[in-house]
Every structure is written in C-alpha cells, then in structure tokens.
Amino acid sequence: MTPRRLAREVVLNAAASLGALCIVVAAASWVFGATLLVFHSGSMSPSIRSGALGVAVERPVSALEAGDVVSVVGEDGVRVTHRVVSVRDRGLLLRGDANPEPDPQTYAVEQADVVVASVPHVGRVLDEASHGWWLLAEGALAGTAVGLTLRPQRRGRRERVRDRRVGAVATGLALALVASAPLVRTMAALSDTAR
C-alpha cells in the first residue's frame, strides 16, 4: 500500500469512526431522550469529577427517589447537577456529594434529567472538540473526506463502488460530527465549607 493510499484510508476511517459516534449519540438522544452533560465543577466528587461526561434521561419528579443524581435548571437559569436529598411538595432538595449542606433553594420542577451513567475525562475532551480550533480541524476532516470520496480512482468498477459507498458514509458521518454539539454544560455549584 502506498503512503498516499494509506493516508487516504486513515482519513476516511477517522471520519467514519468519529461520525459513527456522533450518529449513535444523536440516535440515543432522539430515541431515549438522552442528554449529554459535561461536568464543570467538583461538587459531585468523588462519584462524578469535573471533566466527566454524564448521560441523563428525563423523568418526572414523581419517579425520583432520594439518592438519584439529577440535573435541573434553577430559577437563575443555571443548570445544576446534584444528588436528590428529598422530593418535596414544593420541589427537589439537592446536595452535591462534595458539599457539606444541601443547596439553599428547593428546585420547583416537574421534570428532571436523571444521570444514568458517567465517564471520567470524556466530557472535557468533547467540550474542547465542540468549539475553537477543534471545529476547524473537524471541518477540515469532513472536507478532506468529501474530496477523497469525489476524487476519481483508477481501479475496477467494484472497488470504485465500494470506495464511493465507504466515502459517502464517512462524509456523512464526518459532517454529522461537525454539525452536532449535543453537549449541555452543567455548573454544579460547589459550596465552600467556610462560613
């Protein structure tokens, strides 16, 4: 295999892999109503540390129990992700695992995003990849995949058809990656123990 062909295959495979991940995330979000949360504070440490990626599914407050980790938007418009201390008539009383006291306010919501899984460090990577020069790199990857797909090949018909299909899938997946950024940043408040 020539270096040029190897480079072409690497770019197409990278585009296909990244795009496939994006499509899986988008499909999960659509089918299951999942939301990706990037943790920007350590208030849920040690169970969920800053930089983790959480997967949350929306549930009614009536289905929540003490101990569930939920993400809600407070009256100030800031998303908070903490553990349920109690479910009250007026709403949810929450507390971050690293906080000594429950949050000062009760969150009057009818629905909450329940964190069903979290992966350390991945949120930080995806957060970085969703803006700045990373978007430029992702766009370049998608553009390169398109160029490689449309470039005429000097091979048999069967190989050209296979390459076009692979290229089309890779291009679509790469473009899906560039176009989607389904991340929600959560600023779970970390309380200071000093009074």
Contact assessment for residue 143 and residue 167, using Cβ atoms and an 8 Å cutoff: no
pLDDT over 90 percentage in the chain: 24
Contact assessment for residue 115 and residue 81, using Cβ atoms and an 8 Å cutoff: yes
Q: β-strand 34-39 against 183-186: which pairing, if any?
A: parallel
The model's pTM: 0.63
Per-residue model confidence as pLDDT tens digits over 60-108: 999 999 999 999 988 888 889 999 999 988 889 999 999 999 999 899 9
- Picking from 126, 75, 131, the residue whose alpha carbon sits closest to that of residue 103 is 75
Q: Residue 167 belongs to what domain range?
A: 1-195
- Which span out of 10-24, 52-66, 159-173 was modeled with the highest average pLDDT? 52-66
How many domains does the chain fold into?
1
Q: How many helices (H) and strands (E) does the chain have?
A: 4, 7
CATH, residue 4: 2.10.109.10
Rounded to whole angstroms, what are the CA distances from 59 to 33, 77, 179? 10, 19, 28
The tokens for 194 are 């000093």
* Mean pLDDT, residues 6-21: 71
Mean pLDDT of the chain: 75
Contact assessment for residue 138 and residue 178, using Cβ atoms and an 8 Å cutoff: yes
- d(CA 106, CA 100) in angstroms, rounded, equals 16
DSSP assignment string, 170-194: HHHHHHHHHH---EEEE------S-
